[in-house]
Chain A
Amino acid sequence: MRPDRPKIAVVTFLGSLDDRDAVWALAALDAEAQLVWHAETELPHGTSAVVLPGGFSYGDYLRGGAIARFAPIMDAVIEFATAGGLVLGICNGFQILCEARLLPGVLIRNASLSFICRDVTLRVERTDTPFTSRCEQGQRLRIPIKHGYGNFTGDDELLAELERKSQVVLRYHGDNPNGSAFSIAGVVNEAGNVMGLMPHPEHAVDPLLGSPDGALILASLVDAARERSAALV
Chain B
Amino acid sequence: MKATVLVRPKAGILDPQGEAVRGSLAKSGFDIVSVRIGRVVDVEVETSDREKALAELEQMSHDLLANPLIESYEIELLEEA
Q: Which A residues form the contact surface with B (CB < 8 A)?
A: 62-63, 66-67, 70, 99, 105-106, 108-113, 151, 153-156, 158, 179
Q: Judge whether B6 is part of the interface by a CB distance below 8 angstroms.
A: no
Q: Nearest chain A CB to B72's CB is how many angstroms away?
A: 12
| A65 to B16 alpha-carbon distance, docked (Å) | 19
Q: Is the interface of B mostly helix, strand, loop or mixed?
A: loop
Asked if A108 contacts B70 (CB within 8 A), the reply is: yes
B17-A154 in contact (CB<8A): no
Alpha-carbon distance A70/B65, docked complex (angstroms): 12
| B 6-20 to A, binary, CB cutoff 8 A, 1 in contact else 0 | 000010111011001
Among A63, A109, A158, contact of B17 (Cβ-Cβ < 8 Å): A109
| Dominant secondary structure at the A interface | loop
Interface check B64, CB cutoff 8 A: yes
Is residue B69 within 8 Å, beta carbon to beta carbon, of the partner chain? yes
Across-interface contacts of A106 in B (CB, < 8 A): 67, 69-70
Give 16 new A-B contacts, CB below 8 A, not counting A106-B67, A106-B70, A111-B14: A63-B67, A70-B64, A105-B69, A108-B16, A109-B16, A109-B17, A110-B16, A112-B16, A151-B14, A151-B16, A153-B70, A154-B70, A155-B10, A155-B12, A155-B13, A155-B70
Query: With contacts A106-B70, A153-B70 known, is A111 near B16, CB below 8 A?
Result: yes
B17 touches A153 (CB 8 A): no
Which residues of B in the span 24-79 have a Cβ within 8 Å of any Cβ on A?
A: 64-65, 67, 69-70
In the bound complex, residues from chain B placing their C-beta under 8 Å from that of A110 are 16
